[in-house]
Amino acid sequence: MRILVIEDDKNISRQVATILGKAGYAVDISHDGEDGQYLGESESYDAVILDLGLPMRDGLSVLRNWRQQGLTMPVLILTARSTWRDTVAGLRGGADDYLSKPFELEELVARIEALIRRSSGLANPIIKCGKVELDTSNGQVILSGEVRELTALEYRTLSYMMHHQGTIISKTELTEHIYDQDFDLDSNVIEVLINRLRKKLYPELVKTRRGLGYILDCGDVS
């Protein structure tokens, strides 16, 4: 899962990116409204953390432009403005959640987890597929009651697919949602990741749809 953080305070953006990375997310950072708006329009994100008081273009303007273009990714507003009028303006401008500074980093991560789940139509923090459970609250992957260790990329791949059960996901889509901008892509890395998941979990979990991509098989597996 991939997150965009638009925050001009470099210390805050670094702290947010670090804790999100530890929670299993790929993170891109922008420090001004114009660049952030462009990234939101041109890249694929599962959620955005957006400061209101940005240079070049304010966050509320960025948000309204995205929504006018039909972009629907969840947006959490992060700001030092804490009056109820600012909250109302942000929510009516298209925000999905609102967090005032100063804030606890763990609360921020929990809110992002909830936003991504809701955008996928999921309410429970534990997502199930066949014999596999993904606990989004602690990043654990459990197979038949046993915790399985995955690398960061394997976890992101499984997490994205678990959030989009019943959907055929192309290699391009997976690539857009599990890597940050600076990652050096390998042409066959998606196939390698899928094969690793099959070995670490079970082969029938991920089905290949030739020429289209991959889909999870969440039916009962003995």
79 and 137 in a single domain? The answer is no
Over residues 164-182, the pLDDT tens digits come to: 999 999 998 999 999 876 6
182 and 82 in a single domain? The answer is no
pLDDT(202) > 60: yes
What is the pairing mode between strands 75-79 and 97-100? parallel
Residue pair 5/28 in contact by the 8 Å Cβ criterion: yes
pLDDT(186) > 70: no
pLDDT(120) > 50: yes
pLDDT band at 29 (very low <50, low <70, confident <90, very high): very high
Q: What is the pLDDT of residue 162?
A: 96
Residue 41 is assigned to a structural domain of this protein: yes
Q: What is the pLDDT of residue 80?
A: 80
**Burial grade of 102 (CB within 10 A; 0-12, 13-18, 19 or more):** exposed
Q: What is the pLDDT of residue 79?
A: 82
Domain boundary, last residue among 119, 147, 165: 119
CA 154 and chain centroid, separation? 14
Structure tokens at 104: 């606890």
Measured between alpha carbons, how far is 107 from 49 in angstroms, rounded to an integer? 13
CATH for 38: 3.40.50.2300
Determine the Cα angle at 143 with ends 141 and 146, to 5°. Answer: 90
Residue 164 is assigned to a structural domain of this protein: yes
What residue numbers bound the domain in which 156 lies? 126-216
Over residues 46-67, the pLDDT tens digits come to: 999 999 989 999 999 999 999 9
Please identify which residue in the block is written with the tokens 């969840």: 74
109 and 11 in a single domain? The answer is yes
Over residues 100-110, the pLDDT tens digits come to: 889 999 999 99
Residue 221 is assigned to a structural domain of this protein: no
pLDDT(222) > 70: no
Note the helical H segments in the chain.
Answer: 10-22, 33-42, 59-68, 84-92, 105-119, 152-163, 171-178, 189-200
Least confident of 40-54, 66-80, 177-191: 177-191
Number of independent structural domains in the chain? 2
Over residues 130-167, the pLDDT tens digits come to: 999 999 989 999 999 999 999 999 999 999 999 999 99
Residue 64 is assigned to a structural domain of this protein: yes
Q: Cβ–Cβ contacts within 10 Å for residue 207, how many?
A: 12
Q: What is the mean pLDDT of residues 29-53?
A: 96
Nearest to 156 by CA among 44, 59, 64: 44
